[in-house]
Amino acid sequence: MQYRELTVPGAWEITPTLHGDPRGVFLEYFKDAPFAEATGHGFDLQQANCSVSAAGVLRGIHFADVPPGQAKYVTCAKGAVLDVVVDVRVGSPTFGQWDSVLLDDVDRRAIYLGEGLGHAFMSLEDDSTVLYLCSTGYAPGREHGVHPLDPEIGIAWPTTGRDGSPLTAQLSDKDTAAPTLAQAREQGLLPDLATVQEYVRSLRR
């Protein structure tokens, strides 16, 4: 299992070791010791989610108030998605920047997004199945979004699917109505980097 920190600090790409034979494949997609060694703290699993999406479905950009925020460890069990992390932490040197990891049922990578980071993904194939391990449970009153097509962020979303067919982004009503990054900042919705860092430090004590 290999960890690679992304260009947005606090997010990692995780590449597992695949053990295959004529029967199929076995892998460990999460393991506590390598996770703690890479991130400096353990992962407190409080909720596990599963979403199934048609090709072109675009979910996000979602984030939660910090503390406690909601860290996510995400993988794709079936199909393929482009998974994106966005730095929405006010005061961060990489504020507004994004990075991505292709999650699919071939390499079976995962992505970890720490507290205070924005998360989004686009499905590249019908029935793409995404599994999320979450550090806190769903709490609608402290969860927010930024529009995934905000030109200020400028995410390069795929325009063709896994099979080469054209993709049309499909957003929920909630994500369509989400503010831009600038609007979310003006509304005081975004987490503050110093607050996020202090909270993450408290996890290591």
The dihedral over CA atoms of 18, 121, 67, 138, expressed in degrees to the nearest 10, equals -90
62: annotated active-site residue:
yes
For the entire predicted model, the pTM comes to: 0.95
Pick the CATH number of 2-197 from 3.20.20.370, 3.90.120.10, 2.60.120.10, 3.40.50.300: 2.60.120.10
- Establish whether 41 is a catalytic residue: no
Phi, psi of 153 (to 5 degrees): -80, -45
Predicted local confidence at residue 128, as pLDDT: 98
**pLDDT computed for residue 44 by the predictor:** 93
Catalytic residue, candidates 3, 29, 132, 199: 132
- pLDDT by residue for the chain (205 residues), tens only, comes to 999 999 999 999 999 999 999 999 999 999 999 999 999 999 999 999 999 999 999 999 999 999 999 999 999 999 999 999 999 999 999 999 999 999 999 999 999 999 999 999 999 999 999 999 999 999 999 999 999 999 999 999 999 999 999 999 999 999 999 999 999 999 999 999 999 999 998 887 6
Under 8 Å between Cβ of 81 and 128:
yes
Structural element, H or E, at residue 194: helix 193-203
Catalytic residue among 62, 119, 144, 147: 62
Q: Can you tell me the distance from the alpha carbon of 9 to that of 113, in angstroms, rounded to the nearest whole number?
A: 9
3-state SS, residue 38: helix
